[in-house]
Amino acid sequence: MSENGKKVSSNKILSSLIPVIIFIVYTVITFIIWGDDKETGFWIGWVFGLIATGVTTAMPYLMVKSGKEVKSILDGFSVHFVTLCYFGAALVLGLLCMILNDNAVTLQIILQVILHAAYAFFMIASFMGKNIISGIEKEQKEKVYFVKSIAADLGLVAGKVQDPELKKKVEKIAEIARFSDPMSNQTLAGLEATISTKVEELKDAVADGKSIEEIGAIVDRIEEKFLERNEKCKLLK
């Protein structure tokens, strides 16, 4: 992890102390105000507020552990923002329960359960979305690896070729590879396997000092196969 990444992670962990401090102040004030008049509603509000504090405190750790930012399923809102809204709502609802005390206890519990369940739903959905996105990103990286790898190999081969004309030919197919459609496809697997084999054959031919004619024939074959791949990529659009 980079130095900036470590600082961000450290800041996220330190920010988890803020809800703890807020809840301590909240607890002290409410305990003083209600004194000996703490009834069922008070404890409902306080306990659910404690739960919300624990969840809000744990969230930065979960986000750091996940390795990347987790986006909320609410478009335009981050998990951090939704968590703060949840924490604030839990304290306000807890205060309302304290005010009601023994009045409408069942309603108090229902409202608290709905709030916490709604937050749990959003977080589960958001983390599931993150896993899906990570899977898609991984698949895309795997799909573009072929073109990047072949272009890099051809570029290295071009640097080793001594004959000017042959060097130009290798540089040409390296450019063709570099600007080819980067997205692979299962239907292209056989063609890409042939290209990979020919590129390895080209690397060996150059390393072994084969004749210009032999190397040129391999280069022509690779170019032919890459042009075929490009045409098939257009058909797959």
Written as one letter, the residue type at 228 is: E
Neighbours of 40 (CB within 10 A): 15
Written as one letter, the residue type at 39 is: E
Q: What is the pLDDT along the chain (237 residues), one digit of tens a residue?
A: 445 545 545 666 667 788 999 999 999 999 999 988 889 999 999 999 999 999 998 887 776 555 544 454 444 557 788 888 999 999 999 999 999 988 899 999 999 999 999 998 888 877 675 554 454 445 555 556 777 888 888 888 888 888 888 888 888 888 888 887 766 667 777 888 888 898 899 998 888 888 888 888 998 898 888 888 878 877 766
228 near 191, Cβ under 8 Å?
A: yes
The alpha helices in the chain, defined as continuous H runs, are 3-15, 17-34, 40-66, 79-100, 105-160, 164-178, 189-207, 212-235
Q: From 124, 134, 140, 149, select the one nearest 72 (Cα to Cα).
A: 124
